[in-house]
Amino acid sequence: MAKFGTRSLERLSTAHEDLQKVFNEVIKYFDCSIIFGHRTPAEQFELFKKGREFQHGQWVKTGSVVNYLDGYDKKSKHNYSPSHAIDTWLYPIDWSETEEMKHFAGFVLGIAQRMYDKGEIKNEIEWGGNWRSFIDMPHFQLKG
């Protein structure tokens, strides 16, 4: 049975209790790392700046961006405390394993739905990999 490492546990502890409950169940079956729970506005802004440059008074896309929310004007679900989102990936991390992540996400959503139906968690969980406009595969969040 897999277990979270110290850093994953620390990060998970900054997330909403429903996300903690779901991933404490998931880890029994799939080894995964928690990459982010809560993010401060400054941490959010660091991610926002990736793939962008400040030109003529505004941020302009100059490469591949990983985030559309700057943490100040636009808040992410990671910026709540506790966070309403977590980022995770299968351990050991290989970003090319997108097919494996789809399989993993299906499992996570199945566990979450069962826990929701049984009243063990209060919120439904959704996966950023199912979004149309900006596919965010590491990202799971409370619905709504």
Q: Is 18 in the site for Zn ion (CB under 5 A)?
A: no
Considering only the stretches 24-32, 53-61, 79-87, 112-120, report the one whose residues sit in contact with Zn ion under the rule CB under 5 A: 79-87
66 exposure class (CB count in 10 Å sphere: 0-12, 13-18, 19+): middle
Q: Is 139 in the site for Zn ion (CB under 5 A)?
A: yes
Q: Is 126 in the site for Zn ion (CB under 5 A)?
A: no
Ramachandran quadrant class, 62 (left: phi over 0; alpha: psi -120 to 50; beta: rest): alpha
> Which residue has the closest beta carbon to Zn ion?
139
Whether the Cβ atoms of residue 109 and residue 28 lie closer than 8 Å to each other: no
Q: Which is nearer to Zn ion, 121 or 137 (CB)?
A: 137
Q: Is 87 in the site for Zn ion (CB under 5 A)?
A: yes
| CB of 76 vs Zn ion, minimal distance in Å | 7
Whether the Cβ atoms of residue 108 and residue 125 lie closer than 8 Å to each other: yes
| Contacts to Zn ion by CB under 5 A | 85, 87, 139
